[in-house]
Amino acid sequence: MSDVDGSSARPGASLQVDGVTVRFERTAAVDDVSLQLEPGRVLAVLGPSGSGKSTLLRVVAGLQRPDSGRVIIGGDDVTDVPTHRRRVALMFQDGQLFPHQDVAGNVAYALRRQGLSRAEAAGRVGELLELVGLPGMERRRPGTLSGGQQQRVALARALAARPRLLLLDEPLSALDRALRDRLGADLRQILTTSGTTAMLVTHDHDEAFTLADRMAVMSDGRIVQEGPTADVWRAPADEQIAEFLGFSTVLEGEAAARLVPGVARLALRPQALRRADDGEHRATVLGAALGADVVRLRVRLADGVEADAVAELGEPLPEPGESVRLRLVPAAAAPLPG
């Protein structure tokens, strides 16, 4: 237990979850979940609403006692250690800043509690604000900041305590799309730079993909697939997971093999079929709509199967009934087992 309250040079610790089960009444919200995360890595737990991911996060944070199983952080079994002694930090959707304190006061909160002098804390606050891209913002009040800036302050505050493990609950979902993309990329960079081990829960596959090295997909309290983000993204274990990861069409048999020879089931993202004059696949347009960065098509393939497709903006919008040629974008297609 020596490291629970002590400080170490390297902030990130390993995380191990061993056979954790949490029951509410009869049902298991978390059902025999085991996970391992190496120091400095970021794990996204991805799942639909009610799949148990927040409950799992609360167990790791020490806010929920498991009915069985263990939580081990940096080699210490913390299952019976209260939250404030686990050296974990939590960051929620809405940063929950103290409204009456300025940015520096918010970020310095944990530092002052650790007994740093005012001058030491001020220096560290400056560094942290630099890290999250808000240099010089010390004197601003939370109410005068944008949503994205507030999330950055919340992140700086969470990192101030040099947590061994940072726990994030849908950290980007309260932000609008453009801000989410920008802060997502920054957050990823900040976590990597600071060497922080982090676990985030989200129902947004883009958020998981942007932020995490590893992904665990949860359904009905269980982990149904786990691995490096790119691997899960490229090879979902079944149709339900594929759908959850943003694949919109599953082709079977002939229709699948026509696109990728030898494949019996093929999951396609909406952008997997792209209009191209030299494309080798023929299709009939059923409908077309302007999207923000592409034209979205609904098409019928040669086999009579319907699928999504995209076309470049700027090309004339194809009419329903029009015949088009499509090219497969292999990175947006994944063979499914079975």
Ligand X SMILES: Nc1ncnc2c1ncn2[C@@H]1O[C@H](COP(=O)(O)OP(=O)(O)OP(=O)(O)O)[C@@H](O)[C@H]1O
Nearer to ligand X, 121 or 200 (CB): 200
Rg of the chain (C-alpha set):
23
8 A C-beta contact, residue 276 and residue 269: no
Nearer to ligand X, 19 or 195 (CB): 19
Nearer to ligand X, 171 or 318 (CB): 171
- The minimum distance between CB 254 and ligand X, in angstroms, equals 38
3-state secondary structure 125-139: HHHHHHHCCCCCCCC
- The minimum distance between CB 50 and ligand X, in angstroms, equals 4
Residues 6+ apart with CB under 8 A from 82: 62
Nearer to ligand X, 57 or 108 (CB): 57
Task: Tally Cβ neighbours within 10 Å of residue 272.
Answer: 26
- The minimum distance between CB 30 and ligand X, in angstroms, equals 7
- The minimum distance between CB 204 and ligand X, in angstroms, equals 10
- The minimum distance between CB 313 and ligand X, in angstroms, equals 34
Token pair listed for 30:
């978390």
8 A C-beta contact, residue 142 and residue 96: no
Nearer to ligand X, 52 or 142 (CB): 52
- The minimum distance between CB 218 and ligand X, in angstroms, equals 7
Among 204, 229, 202, 236, residue whose Cα is nearest residue 215: 229
Strand order in the sheet with 214-219: 88-91, 165-169, 197-202, 42-46, 214-219, 222-228
- The minimum distance between CB 90 and ligand X, in angstroms, equals 14
Nearer to ligand X, 164 or 203 (CB): 203
Nearer to ligand X, 17 or 295 (CB): 17
8 A C-beta contact, residue 29 and residue 52: yes
Helix axes 147-160, 103-113, angle to 10 degrees: 20
Half-sphere exposure of 200 (CA within 13 A, CB side): 31
Positions that interact with ligand X (CB under 6 A) = 24, 29, 47, 49-55, 203
Judged by DSSP in three states, 227 sits in strand
